[in-house]
Structure 1
């Protein structure tokens, strides 16, 4: 596993891409794929099938991942 410049809980700012300028907290780091999930930065709609855990199913909004090179650590 390679070392990354951000970790879970860090405040970051998006410096490239369509979400440039947005800030948020890192909720997940995937060092193998070089991606991070930043809270509230890239909302994605996901179709959820009905199950015991999700009895309603339908569309849920989750945070999508962005490439780790597109964020910089604040502070």
Structure 2
């Protein structure tokens, strides 16, 4: 089980499950559980009890999905891609698009 190749702020495409085909930005990454929370994907209803500063009711929120069900969209070629890790000349490890070879920040 290696490191997750997506991180918070990346745009991803959902490739499996109920929301297959949707795109969104990663709001939160949960590396220990190997899950990510993507905006407007995997929406669930939650019954919330009133607390000080919050109101009660049924709220809609994003639930985590497995990282294996999302694919990173390369910022330069705008296509879903797999990610490689490479070292630069100055010794930094960077993520690289497998399709176009561009460095993903």
Normalised to the residue count of structure 2, the TM-score between the two structures is 0.66
Task: Tell me which residue corresponds to 2:53.
Answer: 53
Structure 1 position 11, deviation (Å):
0.2
Per-residue CA distance 1:24-51 (angstroms, 9 max, x = gap): 0000110111110000011111111111
Which 5+ residue runs of structure 2 have no aligned equivalent? Answer: 75-105
Whole-Å Cα distance in 2 between the matches of residues 45 and 53 of structure 1? 20
Bigger Rg, which one: 2
Whole-Å Cα distance in 2 between the matches of residues 40 and 27 of structure 1? 10
Higher relative contact order (CA 8 A, sep 6+): 1
RMSD: 1.0
Aligned length: 73
Which 5+ residue runs of structure 1 have no aligned equivalent? Answer: none
Task: Tell me which residue corresponds to 1:14.
Answer: 14
Normalised to the residue count of structure 1, the TM-score between the two structures is 0.91
Q: How does 1:1-75 map to 2 (within 5 A)?
A: 3-54=3-54, 56-75=55-74
Point out 4+ residue stretches in structure 1 off by more than 6 angstroms: none
Is the 2:18–2:42 Cα contact (8 Å) retained in structure 1? no
